[in-house]
Structure 1
Amino acid sequence: MNSKTFTTLDTFDTEFSADSVEWCPIEGFDNILVCGTYQLFKNEESDETSTSKKSKRFGRIYLFRIDCGCKLKLLQCLDVPAVLDMKWMHIKLNDKILLGVTNAAGCVQIYKLINNENEPSLVLCAEKSLTSEDNNEVLALSLDWSSGKLDISDNGQNVQIVVSDSKGSISVFALTEEATLEIASTWNAHEFEAWIAAFDYWNHNVIFSGGDDCKFQWFDLRVSTRPAGVSRAHGAGVTSLHNNAAREFLLASGSYDEILRLWDVRSIRRPVSEVNLTGGIWRLKWDPKTHDYLIAACMYGGFKIVDCRNNDRPNVVSEYMEHESIAYGCDWSLFNSSKIQRQEVLDQAPGTQVLVATCSFYDHALKLAAINLYDNE
């Protein structure tokens, strides 16, 4: 392993178990990040005929800003149903900065980031439930925006959101100009939990999904909601999928089977390459600058950075083992080197080019770290 060393800059106790962290991708707000939490509480309720245990899932959304010295400054804490996933829309929609959230109440929510007197905060502006009258226990598990390859000139028009749920279904929502949600289609895609759904950023009619039935599938919505292709290469549940926004046809998948797979989506009979990251992979994210590196949350194996410049031979170049529990959430900051220098981080981590946020479950920890990643700087 050609090691590139992480330096921990700050740690925050989220109190509830932390499972999702996302940096804002919008210029001028790229020092903003959110962390989502999930806590299961059990209580006993009884009536005249029976005694039953019911579980309630609570969560919080924390909003942070990175201030001088690269410290996490808490701006807002929202009490919400337990958070399963969060993603920022990649660009603005009619000058709105939007965050999508999926939760244990079976809802997808859209929050708007407002900046009153230079104090950012989140305001709920849309919500849609995935539940029906005969199915009131569905969890919304993951989401993805179709905006991964759009730029600011597109103004967010015709953006969609794909959501997966605990009943194995996939739902696609259209986002209106007013940032409200309209259901476009929904269908059953997996026999068990649909852990992940993601767009092909190069073709928004194509959606990828992965489930606890070990299936990795893709759908072409111009044709049908029946799978256009199915792979059974994964030896356990498929938990993470992320399309590469700079390299057409390249997709990364992660699984409980601990194997990172890179795919050419023109043929998903077999992956281009495989590498064992150990610990079970929960999340994969391509780096937002070169799209050559992946950060992986490897559950019981910590966090890892994988060099994928050679698709045939991906190589682990760094490990981050500072967390004491399940590695669940991870993301890259869009801060460039000059902005990091202005945050006075160089004394703590000389040569820093990238800031990374990670979070873990039972130790309820959010960490901010720095790393010198790129060879040419």
Structure 2
Amino acid sequence: MGVVIPLDEKKNQAASVKPLQDLTKADMERVNQLILAKAGSHVEMIPEIARHLIASGGKRLRPMLTLAAAQMCGYAGDHHIKLATSVEFMHTATLLHDDVVDESDMRRGSSTARIIWGNQASVLVGDFLLGQAFKMMVEVGSLDALDVLSSAAAVIAEGEVLQLSVAKNMETTEDDYLAVIRAKTAALFAAAAEVGPIVAGSDKATRKALSSYGTNLGLAFQLVDDVLDYGGKAADLGKNVGDDFREGKVTLPIVLSYRRGTEDERAFWRSAIETGENNDVALEKALGLMTKYNALSDTIARANHYGDMARDALAPMPESPHKAALLEVIDFCISRVT
């Protein structure tokens, strides 16, 4: 089930994160070692849950952004390793908390930690990882880096609460939804990219450029995820197609379909999302309405818009293999929908 929305841009079809992985490979090995070390605890359940989520996959895109940004700015020390690990721990903690809030059963093709160990353990281990992240930030000794990452942590929490306030609410506007994903997703992408030039001692213009790159990359990334829930494959998503719909999540494809529909169609959306009448038959109808009103293709168009903004943010930066790799990541993120 699902619809595939092809993109016309051929460059997206060949895009890959491999150049970024190759450039950061040696540093990522150090990050992975530090992740295992810092996830350790004499409380047996903590490393068990941490290892479960860490081993479940993911490209570790956010810490790679930190490493690549630091390298691109000429950093030669090792503080970026701790900052990249902090970024990954913040992301992992967010996933643990998200799965509890969303009552998710599956993450990256495996049972979520809350299904195996319960909600309480998942939340508390997420808190432990956040604590370890902040300890590493302090060890780095950069108040600017600490400010950026701690501010991001607060914004992410605000985004979680904001998402609760718009959950199953069909009066959610596009601006409302963008505010949620700007906080929940884009804030950490922005912080991950900005702490690289901070630790390298770069000027404010470079910091601002990489923060803008991260913000817009994060927005594009999330919008593509929204489309994939209706047009992807379960094996690629790490969850079932249509899970957002079944959970009553009001994402941009739904916002656009609802606002463009007839009164009868809007009644369908209210029934499906607000009252939970969202079985497989309803999902098929939802997909039909999204196609009728170009909701998926327009969501992709918005992702491309933010991708263009991310490219523009990096435009003034000197040409380098790192810049080329960061630009290709934009194409890769958007190409996932093909």
Give the structure with the higher percent helix: 2
- TM > 0.5 fold call: no
- What TM-score, normalized to structure 2? 0.31
- Between the two structures, name the one with larger relative contact order (CA 8 Å, sep ≥ 6): 2
